[in-house]
């Protein structure tokens, strides 16, 4: 004789369903792709992080410093075009003291930074390109001869 059912529902069908679930192959569910809004938000955050990191690097290093670690922050096409893959990687820098604001234009290719330098407040405008879903700085001018120093911004303007 079986023990009395302590539950208010029939146990037999519940056990049958549990056993069926254990031995049934689960359906393959396609991975959800991020929405365009999520991609734009990720890209926006990547641009902000890259730009702020660069401004902090300007704070720490003087102009003309060899910074090969920053090579990966610049447009790979620019690097190839001017044969900067190897050797020194010199950048013109500003004496940044404070970073007040970083704004990304709607086209996601222009970034405006409001900073304080040794002398006064200034704005710095960078061009950004997206390559394989990752943002890179894209200087508008070729490296200066003979020093091969790169000016990474489009415009640097002191605010008076």
pLDDT tens for each residue of 62-100: 666 778 888 899 999 999 999 999 888 888 888 888 999
Average pLDDT for the chain? 80
Q: What is the percent of the chain with per-residue pLDDT over 90, rounded to a whole number?
A: 37
Strand partners, 84: none
Residue 14 domain flag:
no
Q: How confident is the model at residue 138 (pLDDT cuts 50, 70, 90)?
A: very high
Number of domains in the chain: 1
139 lies in some domain: yes
Does the predicted model carry a pTM greater than 0.85? no
Domain assignment present for 16: no
Counting every residue written for the chain, the total comes to: 160
pLDDT at 147: 82
Residue 151 falls within a domain, yes or no?
Answer: yes
Query: Does residue 3 lie in a domain region?
Result: no
Residues linked to residue 142 through DSSP beta bridges, in sequence order: none
Q: What is the extent of the structural domain holding 136?
A: 36-158
pLDDT at residue 115 greater than cutoff 80: yes
Q: Check: CB of residue 51 under 8 Å from CB of residue 45.
A: no
In the chain, what is the straight-line distance between the N-terminal and C-terminal CA atoms, in Å? 96
Is 146 inside any structural domain?
yes
On whether residue 94 sits in a domain, the answer given is yes
Confidence of residue 17 (pLDDT cuts 50, 70, 90): low
């Amino acid at each position: 004789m079986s023990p009395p059912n302590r539950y208010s529902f029939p146990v037999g069908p519940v056990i049958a369903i549990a056993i069926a679930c254990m031995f049934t192959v689960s359906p393959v569910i396609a991975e959800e792709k991020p929405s365009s809004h999520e991609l734009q938000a990720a890209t926006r955050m990547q641009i902000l992080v890259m730009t702020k990191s660069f401004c902090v690097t300007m704070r720490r290093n003087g102009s003309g410093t060899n910074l090969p670690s920053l090579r990966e922050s610049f447009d790979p096409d620019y690097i190839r075009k001017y044969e900067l893959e190897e050797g020194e990687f010199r950048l013109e820098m500003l004496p940044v003291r404070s970073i007040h604001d970083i704004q990304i234009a709607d086209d996601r290719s222009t970034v405006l930074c409001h900073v304080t330098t040794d002398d006064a407040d200034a704005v710095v405008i960078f061009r950004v390109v997206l390559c394989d879903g990752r943002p890179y700085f894209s200087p508008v001018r070729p490296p200066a001869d003979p020093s091969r120093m790169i000016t990474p911004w489009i415009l640097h303007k002191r605010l008076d």
